[in-house]
Amino acid sequence: MNIIEASGLGRRYRRVWALRDCTLAIPAGHVVALVGPSGSGKTTLLELAVGLRVPSAGRLSVLGGVAPGSIPALSRVAFVAQDAPLYRQLSVADTLRLAGHLNDRWDHQWARQRVAELAVPFSAKLGALSSGTQAQLALTVALGRRPELLILDEPLARLDPLARHEFLAAVLEAVATDGLSVVFSSHLLAELDRVADYLVVLSEGHVQVAGEIDSLVAGHRMLVGRTDHVDLLPAGLSIVSAQRADQQTRLLARCGDDPRPAAAAGFRAEPVGVEELVLAYLRQPDATALPGPSGTTGSREVPA
């Protein structure tokens, strides 16, 4: 089952296309990181997936063919928008009670126990809590609905490193216990490795990279060598992007390419990290790494 499936998906705000021609099939059972520069369409894609917006073109479904925003989707998909939206005047206890009234599948006992573990007083008003605690409570309200798909828009942006760590630990615990799928958008590339096992990179409203992180990482190498030896590299290499300095050049290449010709030019092939891989693709918006036989494109030339 695909938790999110899109075909030719587009969303326009007046004359501006926030998303265009997006085709995507994310299998269930993953923690998916959705990354991309500001304005690349992350929030728009997540809002389409929860039915807060409707497509201007193409189609999108969740949980194996369910229409976003429909009754079956509302009870199975939980969404936490940016800034952990909660009623600041309400107490913690009233917030949990309200969530219980609004959700058929609400697990009140679990939610109360989690609040107790967080050591948050039930009588505290939400507005008086730190942003880390508010984020944890928004997550508690989302998880207490026992969703099959949890969608989080920039959940880490306002959190300090400790709160970030605790938030992600809570998400991973829920994944391990309940087996739910998670999609979260983030600018924080360094955190991805630890939590996500599936990556989607959006660039200028297009899906640029999609796939399991392990295979994406295994499918690439960083070629590192002397800048004045770049011209000695064989023409057949498929290079995604280049970072040149006076002395040294770093080239992200497909690992399907035989590294020996690069070694002959004095370049060594190093394993690549997720952060490096994402940055390399973002530097070269025309390059793609997508599932399917013709899913990878890169330059045969070394990009300037």
Ligand X SMILES: Nc1ncnc2c1ncn2[C@@H]1O[C@H](COP(=O)(O)OP(=O)(O)OP(=O)(O)O)[C@@H](O)[C@H]1O
Which residues here bind ligand X, judged by CB under 6 A?
13, 16, 18, 36, 38-44
Q: Which residues contact 298 (CB under 8 A, 6 or more apart)?
A: 238, 239, 240, 253, 254, 284, 287
Question: Closest by alpha carbon to 302, among 258, 243, 255?
Answer: 243
Judged by beta carbon, residue 68 or residue 225, the one nearer ligand X is 68
DSSP at 294: T
- Smallest separation, CB 37 to ligand X (Å): 7
Structure tokens given for 107: 């697990």
Judged by beta carbon, residue 11 or residue 145, the one nearer ligand X is 11
- Smallest separation, CB 148 to ligand X (Å): 24
Helices (H), the chain: 42-49, 71-76, 92-102, 108-117, 131-144, 161-178, 189-195, 213-218, 259-264, 274-283
- Smallest separation, CB 112 to ligand X (Å): 33
SS3 168: helix
Cβ atoms 233, 260 nearer than 8 A: no
Judged by beta carbon, residue 16 or residue 119, the one nearer ligand X is 16
Judged by beta carbon, residue 43 or residue 296, the one nearer ligand X is 43
Judged by beta carbon, residue 31 or residue 35, the one nearer ligand X is 35
Cβ atoms 169, 159 nearer than 8 A: no
Using CA atoms, how far apart are residues 225 and 248, in angstroms rounded to an integer?
6
Cβ atoms 281, 216 nearer than 8 A: no
- Smallest separation, CB 183 to ligand X (Å): 13
Burial class (CB in 10 A: 0-12, 13-18, 19+), 100: middle
Judged by beta carbon, residue 48 or residue 66, the one nearer ligand X is 48
- Smallest separation, CB 44 to ligand X (Å): 3
| Helix or strand run (H / E) with residue 7 | strand 2-13
- Smallest separation, CB 84 to ligand X (Å): 15
- Smallest separation, CB 99 to ligand X (Å): 26
DSSP for 58-81, written as a single string: EEEEETTTBPTTSHHHHHHEEEE-
- Smallest separation, CB 192 to ligand X (Å): 15
Judged by beta carbon, residue 56 or residue 243, the one nearer ligand X is 56
Judged by beta carbon, residue 35 or residue 77, the one nearer ligand X is 35
Question: Closest by alpha carbon to 153, among 45, 21, 282?
Answer: 45
